Structure 1
Amino acid sequence: MTVHPLPRTPREPAPESVAVVLGTRPELVKLAPLVHALGPAARLVHTGQHWDEALSGRFLRELGLPAPQLLTGVGGRPRAGQIAVSLGQLDAAFADDRPAAVVVQGDTNATLAGALAANARGIPLVHVEAGLRSHDRAMPEEHNRVMVDHLADLLCAATPENAAELRAEGIAGDRIALTGNTVVEVVRDRLPDAAGRAALLARYDLTADGYLLATVHRPENTDTAGSLAAVLGALAELAADGRPVLLPLHPRTRAAAERFGLAPLLARLRVVDPLGYAEFLGLARHAALLVSDSGGVQEECTVLGRPLLVVRRSTERPEAVTAGFAALVSPGPELVAAARARLVEGPALPARLAATPSPYGDGRAAERIARLIPGLVSALPQAA
């Protein structure tokens, strides 16, 4: 893909003057390369939308990120409460210690709160991974990402398709930069080497290309007994074919399975605790097939060269589907049939995907974005 050229840097921001606002583990992963590229200018603010010391703290350490300013009382609230509580604390923080710019990523509640707080204070706003569209108004994330895009001063589109979506909504072209997606560099950086991957396979008693790796956590798959039973039942049926299905179990999914009495289906899978990011990448690299409802996995599979079935009704990442890495499927019989069709291809499918370039860029997105921010700060008037 053609990406925005690396710009000259007119002047560097002052230390700790770029507030990077995030609230979930996927945001930590996606923004880690940019935080590193910004260096001492970066000031990490975690809303606590998804926070626990064991997992979030582990990701911070694994990704080499600085300790964040952590907001309080956000996690566990409904969507409106998360946004409202985060917005109030962010506004107060920006009033006390005004950043030169605010960076948000993607489409979480933390993303929208950070964007609103920046807009309220007249602080230049950068949206990383702008222009994603599922055109599915049932997704709360769709509302978040659309609102943030129309508030942002610099919209960092990962793909030409994302940039086209923004222009179609009337966003001025001079606010849009085609940067690529930071997922490319983070996957390349965090993927364990061959020896590390072999050790992971041994730890989980797996054989390369001989297992499925699944993740399930989205509300559309976990909020009702029928939907979760359809997903877990399909995975259990696939496991009965002879390939183990490794399922790192998200807390939301574990709680739902217990609530709905679906423990017998889980017993037919290899259920493990949530994985560290490098662990997940290492295991995904050698899976015969990935099954997930995650947005991030749709991107990561294109760098790893592995086939993915996306258990969702819609996707904001059609590039992975168009390039042949991913396919949308419904839970239940359609998932089983699609998985079997891909598995019967054997090693030919991952070999073909390994030779297909990722649609998400060349691995220099963070560098491009970091170099664009000082120009944005210089060009826009700063409110008092």
Structure 2
Amino acid sequence: MTIKVMTIFGTRPEAIKMAPLVIGLNEADGIESILCVTAQHREMLDQVLNLFGLKPNHDLDLMAPGQDLFDITTRCLLGLREVFRTDRPDLVLVHGDTTTCFAAGLAAFYENIPVGHVEAGLRTGNLQAPFPEEANRSLVGRITNYHFAPTSLAKNNLLAENIKEETVWVTGNTVIDALLIVRDIVENYPDGHWVNQFGKPLFERISSTNRKLILITGHRRENFGQGFIDLCSAIRELAECHPEWDLVYPVHLNPNVQKPVYEILDGLKNVNLIEPLDYEPFVWMMNQSDLILTDSGGIQEEGPALGKPVLVMREVTERPEAVDAGTVLLVGTNREKIVTAVENVMGDKAKYIAMSRAHNPYGDGLAVERIVRAISSGFLPTNSEDQWTI
């Protein structure tokens, strides 16, 4: 018997984490794999599809200028109604906490199609942080049939919500599968490839053993406004106080990010504001960096896998495992706190080594194998040896 499995995603982070799973499903016996993208993010999504050689069976092409959460949700629901009624999958796989994830799960629920949630069970306990992601993942969890939790803590969050244990598999996070694949690819590229990518002056600064590199990302909706002003002010202070450091910031295209970043940071000699990066050069940049300063969710998982200390510019995180393991430090958006934390880590060799060598709690690169095995076996219970534990 063949199982028809439809994987749905729409943003670059989802695509990165789900691409290895789509490849695994394509290669699995007894599974007919169908890929549907909503294109909630168009260009950034296409970059990942091209990298992994994936061609969607369905493309809703939702991205439009000035779209908001109402637009994305309603257009996704209506578009998927037709897709589901045409293909009628046996299982729909969604990922994480995006609006695509929630809307796709809801659409599948309306059509009585079982839902599998990859990266299930992440919680902050605060519906406003992050917004709207905490609500998205919590709501889709209530209509999910099969929960693929990245860690035992995520599983426990689900059990605390009265999710039946036999519907939860602890798999590790598929982002580690993707990261290790791409890391091995970029390590074989010659220097000339990166000179062409970044230009010779920036490449030489990044590659210099006499300088330290801090990689920065920021895009969270809850940080818009004063939060971004404060974190940009902290970055400016760090750059001015430490001319021996280079700070590289691929700036998100959202105007709420672009405006404060360029107003506060543009013109500083050792702050490099660059266009958003494709996944390959971003993985290379992470691997070259000495420290990562971010408000991203996925980077909290990727940084530790590469041995990089990660400082998170958020007040709470749905990924406390890395905080507990000592690879991640929450610093919020307070200017003084960010500056002090970065200087403490960069200036304390013992602390830096401890953070960079701490155990990565998010996986071993075999999450896809575990998920595909669960689906292929008809979701039979697995023993503890078959699950990822930290």
The bucket for the TM-score relative to the shorter chain is 0.7 to 0.9
Cα deviation, residue 64, structure 1 = 2.3
Cα deviation, residue 80, structure 1 = 2.6
Corresponding residue pairs, total: 359
Q: Which residue of 1 aligns with 2:79?
A: 89
Q: Which residue of 2 aligns with 1:196?
A: 189
Q: 1:280 aligns with which of 277, 282, 294?
A: 282
Identical columns (%): 33
Secondary structure at 2:119's aligned position in 1? Answer: strand
Q: Which residue of 2 aligns with 1:250?
A: 252
Cα deviation, residue 355, structure 1 = 3.6
Cα deviation, residue 377, structure 1 = 7.7
Whether 1:61 and 2:64 are equivalent positions in the alignment is no
Distance 2:260 2:352 in 1: 36
Amino acid of the structure 2 residue aligned with 1:120? Y
Whether 1:180 and 2:179 are equivalent positions in the alignment is no
1:96-116 deviation per Cα after TM superposition (whole angstroms, max 9, x unaligned): 111121000001000011101
Distance 1:150 1:59 in 2: 29
Amino acid of the structure 2 residue aligned with 1:43? I
| Contiguous gaps of at least 5 residues in structure 2 | 382-390
Give me the CA root mean square deviation. 2.2
Asked if the contact 2:20/2:368 (under 8 Å) is kept, the reply is yes
The TM-score with structure 2 as length reference comes to: 0.86
Amino acid of the structure 1 residue aligned with 2:69? R
Secondary structure at 1:61's aligned position in 2? Answer: helix
Distance 1:111 1:326 in 2: 26
Asked if the contact 1:210/1:244 (under 8 Å) is kept, the reply is yes
Q: Which moves more between the two structures, 227-236 or 191-200? A: 191-200
Q: Which residue of 1 aligns with 2:112?
A: 122
Q: Which residue of 2 aligns with 1:233?
A: 233
Whether 1:300 and 2:308 are equivalent positions in the alignment is no
Asked if the contact 1:74/1:81 (under 8 Å) is kept, the reply is no
Secondary structure at 2:365's aligned position in 1? Answer: coil
Cα deviation, residue 232, structure 1 = 1.2
Greater RCO, 1 or 2 (C-alpha within 8 Å, sep 6+): 1
Q: Within 5 Å, give how 1:1-384 maps onto structure 2.
A: 12-13=2-3, 17-39=4-26, 41-52=32-43, 55-75=44-64, 76-138=66-128, 139-191=131-183, 192-194=185-187, 196=189, 200=194, 204-205=203-204, 206=206, 207=208, 210-221=212-223, 223-224=224-225, 226-240=226-240, 241-242=242-243, 243-252=245-254, 255-256=255-256, 259=259, 262-268=262-268, 269-331=271-333, 332-346=335-349, 348-349=350-351, 351-376=353-378
Secondary structure at 1:302's aligned position in 2? Answer: helix
| Contiguous gaps of at least 5 residues in structure 1 | 1-10, 380-384
Cα deviation, residue 372, structure 1 = 1.4
With over 3 angstroms needed to count, the CA separation of the structure-2 counterparts of 1:354 and 1:310, relative to structure 1, is closer
Asked if the contact 2:176/2:305 (under 8 Å) is kept, the reply is yes
Secondary structure at 1:122's aligned position in 2? Answer: coil
The TM-score with structure 1 as length reference comes to: 0.87
Cα deviation, residue 44, structure 1 = 1.5
Asked if the contact 2:219/2:257 (under 8 Å) is kept, the reply is no
Secondary structure at 1:82's aligned position in 2? Answer: helix
Distance 2:326 2:190 in 1: 25
Asked if the contact 2:123/2:134 (under 8 Å) is kept, the reply is yes
With over 3 angstroms needed to count, the CA separation of the structure-2 counterparts of 1:57 and 1:104, relative to structure 1, is same
